[in-house]
Amino acid sequence: MPFTQQTPRMFSRQDIESLNENQLGIYSIFKQGQWIYIGKGDIRTRLLAHLNGDKPCIIKLGPTHWVGELLNDPQMSNREKQLILEFKPPCNDKIG
């Protein structure tokens, strides 16, 4: 099951820094036609880390947008695994 219907947001420092802190959930970083990475945790913190190059694969593939879903902690791991198996993003080297 894909991400819930929503408008993609820009994968940019300005957009990410405007997010509220401590919003837990899952997110996907992508560009047109390619899911690049799916992750979980504090969405703002994790997206900023990726923007700063914590996973070189993400920056190398030139992401332009991201989407996310707010979820409770027990739901995050299962939903993340489900989406990784469905979309097979190249920068996810493990599931979970």
* 1 pLDDT more than 60: no
Give exposure, 10-35, as e/b (b: 16+ Cβ within 10 Å).
ebeeeebeebeeeebbbbbbbeeeeb
pLDDT at 4: 75
Domain spans of the chain, in order of start:
9-87
Whether pTM exceeds 0.95: no
State how far the Cα of 11 lies from the Cα of 4, in Å rounded to an integer. Answer: 18
Neighbours of 41 (CB within 10 A): 17
Instruction: Give the right CATH number for 9-87 from 3.30.70.2190, 3.40.1670.10, 3.40.1440.10, 3.20.20.80.
Output: 3.40.1440.10
Please tell me whether residue 49 adopts helix, strand or coil conformation: helix
pLDDT (tens digit per residue) in 40-96: 999 999 999 999 999 999 999 999 999 999 998 888 999 999 999 999 999 998 665
Angle at the Cα of 87 (from 75 to 16), degrees rounded to 5? 65
Average pLDDT over residues 16-45: 96
Top pLDDT among 4 and 13 is at 13
pLDDT at 38: 97
State how far the Cα of 34 lies from the Cα of 5, in Å rounded to an integer. Answer: 17
